[in-house]
Chain A
Amino acid sequence: MRALHFANPAAFALLLALPLLAAVWRHGDRRRRSALAEWGRGPGAAAGNPWKRGLQFAACVALVFALARPATEGITAPPPGKPTGDLVFLLDVSRSMLADDVGTLRLYRARDWIRQLGSRANGQRVALVAFAGTQAVQCPLTFDHAFFDQMVKETGPDTVVRGGTKLGDAIRFASAYVFDDVERDVKTMVVVTDGGDQESAPDAAAREAAQRGIRVITLGIGDPVRGALVPESMANRTPVVYQGRPVNTRLEEGTLRTIGEYMSAGTGPIDAEGVYRRLLAAQRPAKGPRDGGDTLWMACLAVAILLLAMDARVPERRLLQAAVLALAVLAMPVSSFAQRVDEWFGKGVKALEEKRYPDAVRYFSEAAMWSPGVPEIRFNLGKTLYEYRAYMESAGSFEMAVKEARDPQMKAKCRLGQGNALFRYAEESRMDRIKHYQAALDAYKEAEKLDPTLFDAEFNRQVTERRLREWRNRMPGAAPTNVLPPEADADKLLQDMTARQPAAAPPARKHRGVERDW
Chain B
Amino acid sequence: MPQFEWPAVLLALLALPFLGRLGRRGRAPALRITGAVDPAVLPRSARQRWVRLPAALRMAALALLICALAGPRWNGRHVPEISKTIGIQLVVDCSGSMNETDMLFEGRLRSRMDVVRQLSRDFVLGNGADLKGRMEDTIGVIAFAEFPVTLRPLMLPDRAMGPVLEHIGLGSNTEGTSIGDAVAMAAARFHQAETTAGESFRSKAIVLLTDGDDNSSKISVERAGVLAQQWGVRIYAIAIRPSRQVAMRGADPAMEALDSLAQQTGGLARLVTDGYSLQTVYREIDGLERSERRQPRYSAGWQWIYALTTAGLSLLVAEIVLTQTWLRRIP
Residues of A within 8 A of B (CB): 8, 14, 21, 24-25, 27-28, 31-32, 35-36, 39, 41, 45-46, 56, 59-60, 63-64, 66-67, 69, 82, 84, 121-123, 125, 137, 139-148, 177, 180-183, 291-292, 297-298, 301-302, 304-305, 308-309, 312-315, 318, 358
Q: Which residues of B contact A28 (CB under 8 A)?
A: 323-325, 328
Q: Which residues of B contact A304 (CB under 8 A)?
A: 65
- Between-chain CB contacts (< 8 Å), 12 pairs: A21-B317, A24-B320, A28-B324, A141-B155, A141-B156, A146-B192, A147-B189, A305-B62, A305-B69, A312-B20, A313-B26, A313-B27
Q: Do B306 and A67 have beta carbons less than 8 Å apart?
A: yes
- The verdict on B150 contacting chain A, using a C-beta distance below 8 Å, is yes
Q: Do A312 and B325 have beta carbons less than 8 Å apart?
A: no
Q: Do B20 and A142 have beta carbons less than 8 Å apart?
A: no
Q: Give 16 A-B pairs besides A28-B328, A122-B197 with Cβ atoms closer than 8 angstroms.
A: A24-B320, A31-B328, A32-B330, A56-B316, A122-B196, A123-B196, A125-B155, A139-B153, A140-B160, A142-B154, A143-B193, A144-B196, A177-B159, A309-B15, A312-B23, A312-B59
Q: Which residues of B contact A313 (CB under 8 A)?
A: 19-20, 22-24, 26-27, 55, 58
Q: Do B330 and A305 have beta carbons less than 8 Å apart?
A: no
Known: A41-B331, A301-B65, A312-B23. A183 touches B324 (CB 8 A): no
Q: Do B321 and A140 have beta carbons less than 8 Å apart?
A: no
**A150→B103 CA distance, assembly (Å):** 36
Q: Which residues of B contact A46 (CB under 8 A)?
A: 331
Task: Give the distance to chain A from B307, nearest Cβ to Cβ, in Å.
Answer: 10
Q: Do A318 and B26 have beta carbons less than 8 Å apart?
A: yes
Task: Give the distance to chain A from B215, nearest Cβ to Cβ, in Å.
Answer: 26
> Size class of B's contact patch?
35 or more
**A144→B328 CA distance, assembly (Å):** 68
Q: Which residues of A contact B140 (CB under 8 A)?
A: 144
**A121→B198 CA distance, assembly (Å):** 11
**A154→B304 CA distance, assembly (Å):** 46
- The verdict on B110 contacting chain A, using a C-beta distance below 8 Å, is no
Mask, B309-331, CB within 8 Å of A = 1, is 11011001100110111001011
- The verdict on B297 contacting chain A, using a C-beta distance below 8 Å, is yes
Mask, B120-158, CB within 8 Å of A = 1, is 000000000000000000101000000000101111101
Q: Which residues of A contact B330 (CB under 8 A)?
A: 32, 35-36
Q: Do A59 and B316 have beta carbons less than 8 Å apart?
A: yes
Closest to B191 in A: A146
Say which one of B36-44, B75-83, B221-229, B271-279 lies at the interface with A: B75-83
Q: Do B5 and A45 have beta carbons less than 8 Å apart?
A: no
In chain B, positions 50-93 with a C-beta closer than 8 Å to chain A are 55, 58-59, 61-62, 65-66, 68-69, 71, 77, 79-80, 82-83
Q: Which residues of B contact A183 (CB under 8 A)?
A: 79, 297, 299
Q: Do B26 and A315 have beta carbons less than 8 Å apart?
A: yes
**A69→B194 CA distance, assembly (Å):** 35
**A220→B91 CA distance, assembly (Å):** 40
